[in-house]
Amino acid sequence: MPTATRAAVLRHVGAARPYADSRPLGVETVTLDDPGPGEVLVAVKAAGLCHSDLSVINGDRPRPLPMALGHEAAGVVEALGEGVADLAVGDHVVMVFMPSCGHCSPCAEGRPALCEPGAVANGRGELLTGRRALHAGAETLNHHLGCSAFAERAVVSRRSLVKIDADLSFEHAALFGCAVLTGVGAVVNTAGVRAGQSAVVVGLGGVGLAAVLGALASGASPVVAVDLSEDKLALARSLGPAPGVVQTVNAADPDAVDQVRALTRGGSDFVFEMAGSVRALDSAWRMTRRGGTTVTAGLPPPEAALAVNVVSLVGEERTLKGSYIGTCVPVRDIPRYVALFRQGRLPVDRLLSGTLALDDINAAFDALADGRAVRQVIRF
């Protein structure tokens, strides 16, 4: 029997700012089909606001509309579809925004973040099972990255869920599904930073600050954080175990690149671009030392392109790498990162800017777009 739920639905992109007035997201009562084979009905308890959501709202990341947004969330299993035997009603779960089929070539190689059927389903606004379970009256809605988590309930593929311990708070658990997987994973999986190597993070949103946490947990030294916001730079400095462990540079300074190169003795071993900006990526490239690696997890508009000096690429043995969801294996990495959080080595709770109600979602995206928030979480 279909389940009624309230959800934030996007019907048009490019709304004028402030969003609190234009209200691009409408909180609607929609219906969810019962979970089908391989699917799960989840009562969403917490959902984080991410720049990946904002980039759909402003049109930078084209997605099929109308769409129920939201992709970073945690909740409780309410019902199981046929064939789902490894979860039980009442289990606590984190959603992962790239479902992995387990059978395609990337999945077989241990790279589920690059799952080919998962990427196709996400691009179409479908679940990995190939269907859409969301409806507004007679109208079928698209799913956002297999989750559509800005809602009281969601039907998702079993392959989009990782079980977690029930004593982890939902507002913290939600962050592990995107910000932590992507930021920490870029450091420990994509780059493989080792103790004593230098690391620079450009762009201090939720993902960037998670990368700072990952660099600290890996023993990187020095760790340098770069952003335009003095508030975020101050937060980055406070994440270090002692004053001065995380050094900062304001990206607005004309000599920001030179400052970073001085702090890292001629350029950093690893530089992580998390701003989703070609200009930021160019700066990150110039902050990287000879023989170093520039890693980008930012997602600028699809038409954005970077000009790279090929002589430097070859003659300096430089590496430019992309990182999607932190090159993660979710069933392996989420429990590991949660364990580090419990040990105090990955203080993810420091990234939480505040909680809000679903009805306040448009104003909250203003705060995100203005750089006034790191991670805001909707509590249900």
pLDDT digits (tens, 9 = 90+) for 137-155: 999 999 999 999 999 999 9
Q: Which tens digits make up the pLDDT trace of 52-73?
A: 999 999 999 999 999 999 999 9
Q: Which tens digits make up the pLDDT trace of 361-376?
A: 999 999 999 999 999 9
Distance CA 4, CA 328 (A): 33
pLDDT at residue 2, rounded to an integer: 86
Range name among 22-26, 58-62, 148-152, 353-357 with the lowest pLDDT average = 58-62
Mean pLDDT of the chain: 96
């984190």: which residue's tokens? 94
Distance CA 17, CA 24 (A): 10
pLDDT at residue 303, rounded to an integer: 85
Peptide bond into 222 cis (omega under 30): yes
Q: Which tens digits make up the pLDDT trace of 243-276?
A: 999 999 999 999 999 999 999 999 999 999 999 9
> Which of 63, 25, 38, 30 minimizes the C-alpha distance to 131?
38
366, 353 Cβ separation under 8 angstroms: no
Distance CA 222, CA 237 (A): 12
Query: Which run of H or E residues covers position 225?
Result: strand 223-227
Distance CA 133, CA 142 (A): 8
pLDDT at residue 331, rounded to an integer: 96
Q: Report the percentage of the chain scoring pLDDT > 90.
A: 95
Q: Which residues sit opposite 93 in a β-bridge?
A: 75, 163
Structure pTM? 0.96
Is pLDDT at 359 greater than 80 in this prediction? Answer: yes
Q: What is the dihedral of CA 227, 233, 237, 240, to 10 degrees?
A: -50
Residue spans of beta strands (DSSP E) within 33-133: 39-48, 67-68, 72-80, 92-95
Q: In what order do the strands lie in the sheet with 268-273?
A: 246-250, 223-227, 199-202, 268-273, 288-296, 319-322
